Amino acid sequence: LIRDENGDKMSKSKGNVLDPIDMIDGIDLESLVEKRTGNMMQPQLAKKIEKNTRKTFENGIEAYGTDALRFTLAAMASTGRDINWDMKRLEGYRNFCNKLWNASRYVMMNTEEQDCGFNGGEIEYSLADKWIESQFELAAKAFNNHIDNFRLDMASNTLYEFIWNQFCDWYLELTKPVLWKGTEAQQRGTRRTLITVLEKTLRLAHPVIPYITETIWQSIKPLVEGVEGETIMLQALPQFDEANFNQEALDDIEWVKAFITSIRNLRAEYDINPGKPLDVMLKAANAEDAARLEANKQVLMSLAKLESVRVLAADEETPACATALVAKSELMIPMAGLIDKDAELARLDGEIKKTHGEIKRIEGKLGNEGFVAKAPEAVVAKEREKLEGYKETLAKLEEQKKTIAAL
């Protein structure tokens, strides 16, 4: 049963019904009010319903499109429970459809009228190319398993995770250094991977979001070798292919992602300009991590915006650094000259004071026996969870202050 955002059953008498057509095509506020209050069995409720409608939908309902609505319903359709409708989820899945559209434009921009390796010539696949192929195979395997078990919600979430978090957020970024500076063979490999993985992804997503996938597929069909047929509806649903799966590539790119994410997190923690080139050192725990650094240096320097990156000698001393763990190795950024020491210490003091205040406030609330006894269990648990979060934040802030003070 689909309920409204408050968990109430949707009914015309309550005036909380949402027409799917209105979410697809959009509707202005006055038309929505008229629709909800017209021909009511209990006309005395009309004013209340009008007031709630104007409060909830100040500007009416935007046009979200059929695919966004289908994806939202599929992703929320878990077994054995009612669904509390959430317009924010619908907005999020519309953004997902836009993300897929923009990613497809990037792929076409870099493959249309370009050499994608379908007509001969040497091809060299990058580590990222092998990784995304492997990620796709895992996604196809999981998607098909979920469909076989009638778990459309989990199948939809598998699509979301692969398309947004792996293909768009990481793979497209990892292709840029190759497309800008790679050899012809490397560029052929990356272009070929871009277009073939996108085509397979559209086929995998088609049962859930048929309209956008059909439109994009018609545009890229001429670019992919061996693709025939008038419509994506007649194409085979991708199945797991072990020949395209490479566990080593998965492991290596996860290390690269952890390295880049650690750099970005340290920039945010220490308020370092995101565009400022950094000198980075790695205290490698083993030869494998050192080899990964050397093999992926170009990608790391480009995506993490580094001036230099190197492996430290075993006995080399280092200045005061911001540090993070990448697998079993320690990533280090020398802090001298990167920040205004006095201003950063003042900022940290303010954050520490504010965090202490929040900890004291929550501890006071949890120390009140009346609150703990009378408040719902979930509320008390939430307060305890917030307290732990503030304590963790305080520890990080104090560690940052210690590092800055040592400069």
Q: Output Rg (C-alpha) for the chain, integer angstroms.
A: 27
Domain co-membership, 259 together with 205: no
Domain co-membership, 44 together with 145: no
- HSE value, Cβ hemisphere, 13 Å, CA-based, for 380: 12
Q: Domain limits at 163? A: 115-245
Domain co-membership, 146 together with 236: yes
Domain co-membership, 291 together with 230: no
Whether 106 maps to a domain, the answer reads no
CA–CA dist 206, 190 (Å, integer) = 24
In single-letter form, the type of residue at position 335 comes to M
Nearest to 221 by CA among 211, 229, 209, 210: 229
Close Cβ partners of 83 (under 8 Å, ≥ 6 residues apart) = 1, 2, 3, 76, 77
Domain co-membership, 14 together with 51: yes
Domain co-membership, 54 together with 136: no
Whether 24 maps to a domain, the answer reads yes
Report yes or no: 284 and 293 within 8 Å, Cβ to Cβ.
Answer: yes
Domain co-membership, 356 together with 328: no
Report yes or no: 230 and 86 within 8 Å, Cβ to Cβ.
Answer: no
Whether 76 maps to a domain, the answer reads no
Whether 148 maps to a domain, the answer reads yes
**pLDDT for the residue numbered 2:** 79
Nearest to 224 by CA among 149, 298, 118, 79: 118
**Diameter over CA atoms, the chain:** 83
Phi, psi for 264 (deg, rounded to 5):
-65, -40
Whether 178 maps to a domain, the answer reads yes
CA distances from 290 to 100, 296, 318, 319 (A): 35, 10, 18, 21
Please tell me the total count of domains within the chain: 4
Burial class (CB in 10 A: 0-12, 13-18, 19+), 322: buried
- Among 226, 245, 264, residue at a domain's last position: 245
Domain co-membership, 129 together with 178: yes
Residues 54-70 have pLDDT tens digits of 988 889 999 999 999 99
- DSSP letters along 383-395, please? HHHHHHHHHHHHH
**pLDDT for the residue numbered 321:** 82
Nearest to 178 by CA among 113, 111, 244, 125: 125
Cα–chain center distance at 198: 18
Residues 168-196 have pLDDT tens digits of 999 999 999 999 999 999 999 999 999 99
Burial class (CB in 10 A: 0-12, 13-18, 19+), 401: middle
Domain co-membership, 400 together with 301: no
Geometric angle at alpha carbon 322, from 319 and 328, rounded to 5°: 100
State the helix-helix crossing angle for 184-205 and 210-220, rounded to 10 degrees.
Answer: 150
Domain co-membership, 223 together with 136: yes
Whether 86 maps to a domain, the answer reads no
- Among 63, 82, 100, residue at a domain's last position: 63
Whether 375 maps to a domain, the answer reads yes
CA–CA dist 110, 220 (Å, integer) = 12
Q: Which pairs count as long-range contacts for 397-400, CB under 8 Å and 24+ apart, including other chains?
A: 397/348, 397/351, 397/352, 397/355, 398/352, 400/269, 400/270, 400/322, 400/348
CA–CA dist 33, 243 (Å, integer) = 57
**pLDDT for the residue numbered 129:** 97
The CATH number for 240's domain is 1.10.730.10
Report yes or no: 60 and 29 within 8 Å, Cβ to Cβ.
Answer: yes
H-run or E-run covering 348: helix 341-366
- Among 217, 245, 273, residue at a domain's last position: 245
Domain co-membership, 59 together with 129: no
Segments in the chain below pLDDT 50: none
Domain co-membership, 120 together with 220: yes
Whether 168 maps to a domain, the answer reads yes
